[in-house]
Amino acid sequence: MTTSFTDKYGPWALITGASRGLGAEFARQCAERGLNLVLIATNTDLLKFRGDAIKRDYDVKVKTISLDLSGVDILKAITPVTDSLDIGLLVNNAGLSTVSPFLHHNLDYLKKQLHVNARAGLILTHHFGRKMAERRRGGIIFLSSGSAMYGTAYCANYAGTKAYNLILAETLWYELGKYGVDVLGFMAGSTKTPGWDANKPKPYRLVKVTDVKTAVAEALKALGKCPSLIGGRSNRLGYFFMQKVFSRTRAIRTVAKSIEKVFGPFDDNIKKWR
């Protein structure tokens, strides 16, 4: 007997960073599969717009929570909405990404990035993962990145948070799998999102940019089949080649040079750094 997506991961999905980009597309595709939604993001107006559109187009229930996930006690705002719901799918998608040298950022931004990208997913996974394990079913997706594979220049803190997400996801794939809970670390690769566009990338033939619809569909298809996945066949081939042929030193330098071509040049005037 085949278990449907809704039976396995329903009736509710909780998605962070759900107002735009990959998060908005995760919301749409989960609704398309029949899941009700709890959507979390900071942009209240855009979040309401997304939620209303999904309710209209897919006839599912949608609850929204306007919340900054860098806050100290995020569960205090989330559990009053979710305690009465059966959350069968958690998508830890929210993230802050800026391509810039590490010392260009102030420390407050870097700490906020760490909290949104990694700490929030840890808290939500511990809370909802326990409930899923008790029910012996569910799914959790961590949005990682190709930058998690190697030290990635100009994305140092971001890459560190995504490496944390990847290793946590792969480990929980085994641990929670014993309780019927599927976990996936999904490395989306270069994806055309508002965050990608905000960094003003320049065209570069070696960087293939994926659309959000393709990336999300690949992630949902992979859930329950493997502990982690690099999105896009060309990306998988590229990282496979680097792992087999390049030393780690050469791989780090190669990725750095690619980033410089796409997003550079970067200002090296230390006195201007903030």
| Domains, the chain | 7-266 (3.40.50.720)
pLDDT above 90 (res 221): yes
Closest CA to 162 of 222, 211, 107, 113: 113
pTM check: above 0.85: yes
On the question of pLDDT at 247 being above 70, the answer is yes
- Which residues form the catalytic set? 158
Contact 186, 228 (CB under 8 A): yes
Check residue 196 and give its pLDDT.
45
Task: Round to whole Å and give the CA distance between 232 and 234.
Answer: 6
Which two three-digit tokens encode residue 28? 């749409």
What is the sign, positive or negative, of the torsion defined by CA atoms of 76, 92, 48, 5?
negative
Length of the chain: 274
Do the Cβ atoms of 222 and 184 come closer than 8 Å? yes
Q: How confident is the model at residue 190 (pLDDT cuts 50, 70, 90)?
A: low
Q: Which of 32, 29, 62 is nearest to 47 (CA)?
A: 62
Separation of alpha carbons 121 and 83, rounded Å: 18
Closest CA to 174 of 187, 162, 185, 189: 185
Output the average pLDDT for the chain. Answer: 91
Joined together, the tokens standing for residue 146 give 């190709």
Beta-carbon count within 10 A of 26 CB: 27
Both tokens assigned to 54 = 């999904």
The single residue listed with the structure tokens 């209240």 is 44
- Average pLDDT for residues 21-42, to the nearest whole number? 97
Residue 13: pLDDT above 50? yes
Order of all β-strands in the sheet with 87-92: 62-66, 36-41, 12-16, 87-92, 138-144, 181-187, 228-230
142 - beta bridge partners? Answer: 92, 185
